[in-house]
Structure 1
Amino acid sequence: MARLPIWTPAVVAAYARRCYELGLAVTLPDGSRAPIPPMITARSLGEGPWGEMRRDGHVLLGALARLAGEVLAGRADGRYRRLFGHFRGFEREVVERAWPSQRVLANARADFFVEAGRPVALEVNTTIPAMQGYADVVNRAFVETVGAARGLSEAGVRELLDRVPSQAASLLGALLDGYRALGGEAET
């Protein structure tokens, strides 16, 4: 943080507030909303440690997909069944019906932290497409907040936002591609 002089307490608070205003929140069982803390600096996956994280994410996802197949086929040790124990309703039905015939994942995400210079996986997830929307919220709030703190005009902020790819649009594209690959023909 010390290397980023723009991150004053007021800017950090404005960033978190803007993320919440744009929807970076979770609805609790009692119906109230709680903010999800955003990260301070966004990074895209390139080469170096980020490329390593991308490759590790693919390996982890492949291993978890194989484990999920074993669990859903009833061949896995009982202790792994809790992986799907919290699924209910539509989510459970989709997994149980789709998995035997379709092994294509349209949505996957691996969250990493860097510890002692090495990326360490925190979570791999294939069931929460809202994360792409959250990523778009964080990107927008980051550009708006840092842009304002750096003195950019509204037009300058909009120009930067136009250059940031949308994760939600990428997800929609993947879902539509998967739909068509499975023979879907309805107008999308």
Structure 2
Amino acid sequence: MTTHSLIYTVGITGASGAIYGVCLTQELLKLGCTVHLIITEAGWQVFKEELNWDNSDREMILKENIQKDFPGILKYHHLRDFTAPIASGSYKSKGMIIIPCSMGTLSGIANGASGNLLERTADVMIKEGRTLLLVPRETPLNAIQLENMLKLSRIGVRIVPAMPGFYHRPQSLDDLVRFMVGKVLDNLGLDHHLFRRWGD
């Protein structure tokens, strides 16, 4: 299997923690994967607020801040582009990660809404029995949100909350981000060296 045959979809929503989604996308591209990227409008707004990126030129952000010169292939899709290949179960991919995942998006997926390309692609992952991994970032959590997570977990969706560990003795914010992204890659079965493992 070639690296470009490793195809993943990454969704970035408006939950706080956009850097998680950016870092994961970059790591997958470094590994030579093909990444289908979906960013919600709220996600673009968080890029501006948290990363200080001028989102008036989105193509520039995708090229210079995310794709860079990594060997993988980046394919960006608008939220309403239901003609995208990832909207169909006949398109082969290894799985999907929504990082960070807002509670609104989580609710839409848990209830089968398929109201946009992000939710539709997640629904495809579920119906085809492929890997779907959600990284929720919210606190505190109410009963509805917890019930939605439980509903999804019971059907095989992996819930990986944005809860970085500290046993690797992080020295910077980047260390905490890399820890979470590393945990996601672990769940995808992909090798990495983003953090020091317990016992190493």
Whether TM exceeds 0.5 here: the answer is no
TM-score (normalised: structure 1): 0.24
CA radius of gyration, larger in: 1
* Greater share of helix: 1
TM-score (normalised: structure 2): 0.23
* Greater share of strand: 2
